[in-house]
Amino acid sequence: MSRLAAPEIVRLGVRDYESVWRDMQAYTDQRDSDTPDQLWLVEHPAVFTLGQNGRLAHVRDPGDIPVVHVDRGGQVTYHGPGQVVMYVLLDLRRWRLGVRQLVTLLERAVIGLAAQFGLQAASRPDAPGVYLGDAKLASLGLRIRRGCSYHGVALNVDGDLTPFFRIDPCGFPGLQVTRLADHAVLPERQAIATRLANQFTLALQRHDQIHR
Higher-confidence residue of 126 and 102: namely 102
pLDDT at 9: 98
Percent residues over pLDDT 70 in the chain: 99
Residue 101 binned pLDDT confidence (cut-offs 50, 70, 90) = very high
Active-site choice (88, 90, 170, 192): 170
Which DSSP category does 4 fall into?
P
Collapsing DSSP states into helix, strand and coil, what is residue 152?
strand
Residue 2 binned pLDDT confidence (cut-offs 50, 70, 90) = low
| Cα angle, residue 90 at apex, residues 187 and 27 outer, rounded to 5° | 100
The domain limits of the chain are 8-211
Residue 127 binned pLDDT confidence (cut-offs 50, 70, 90) = confident
Query: SS3 breakdown of the chain: % helix, strand, coil, rounded to 5?
Result: 35, 30, 35
- Taking the domain 8-211, which CATH number applies? 3.30.930.10
Count Cβ atoms below 10 Å from residue 74 Cβ, excluding itself: 22
Average pLDDT, the chain: 95
Q: At what angle do helices 189-211 and 99-116 cross, to 10 degrees?
A: 130
pTM of the model: 0.96
Q: Is 148 a catalytic residue?
A: no
Q: Note the pLDDT tens digit of each residue in 141-178.
A: 999 999 999 999 999 999 999 999 999 998 889 999 99
CA distance linking residue 71 with residue 67, whole number of Å: 13
